[in-house]
Amino acid sequence: MIYLFGASGHGLVILDILHRLNRPVQAFIDDADKPALFGGIPVIKSTEFHPATSDELIISIGSNAARWKVAQKMAGSLFATAIHPTAILSETAAVQAGSVVMAGAILNPYAKVGQHCIINTGATIDHECQLGDFVHISPNATLCGNVKVGNHSWVAAGAVVIPGVTIGERAIVGAGAVVLKDVPDGAVVVGNPAHIKSENKWVM
């Protein structure tokens, strides 16, 4: 059975993917005050989570920082992936444990996605892109070929990153930005062409 950690809107999207894959979800796990049912699925506290050896877990939280914190808390769990049946993945693309790929997303040859990443609706990850862990590529964002994205970075909706660019760790690319050059660690970039606006203050 699969459990989802995070009774959130993002969790509902993952729940829908798993239903389409005929993979039943046992419960949402959430330590905040939540209704007893969410999306028709029971909600339990993390103290009530006593998985069997074969039980799997996906962290269903959109925030990279929050996913990382939960992953530390739930270390030792068996993490699953969820890939929507309408997503297009090359046979040579790789998606690591805990990551999710939403409807209409495309991963082209030799694209590599790290652990606990989100490839959101309609995003395009072109050939030989390399994504670190806890990365979020938002709806309709496009990474052209050979783009590298560091751990914990977020490329927001509709952004475009041209071929060969490296985005550092903990960076944020604003919605609709067009990234023409490398982005340093921790930078927040916006606009067309993208320029540094501020610094991402979150530190692990």
- Least Cα distance to 187 among 174, 162, 79 occurs for 174
Q: Is 201 left (phi over 0), alpha (psi -120 to 50) or beta?
A: alpha
> For 55-87, what is each residue's pLDDT tens digit?
999 999 999 999 999 999 999 999 999 999 999
Rounded to an integer, what distance in angstroms lies between the CA atom of residue 29 and that of residue 53?
17
The two tokens of residue 186 are: 């921790």
Q: Please say if the pLDDT value at position 203 is more than 70.
A: no
Position 15 scores a pLDDT of: 98
Q: If you average pLDDT over residues 137-155, what whole number do you get?
A: 98
Q: Is 126 helix (H, G, I), strand (E, B) or coil?
A: coil
Name the average pLDDT for the chain.
96
Q: Which pLDDT score is estimated for 95?
A: 98
| All structural domains of the chain | 2-73 (3.40.50.20), 82-190 (2.160.10.10)
Q: Is it the case that residue 202 has pLDDT exceeding 90?
A: no
DSSP character at residue 2:
E
Res 175: pLDDT: 98
- Active site (catalytic) residues: 127
pLDDT, one tens digit per residue, over 3-22 is 999 999 999 999 999 999 99
**Pair type for strands 118-119 and 136-137:** parallel
Please give the DSSP secondary-structure letter assigned to residue 46: G
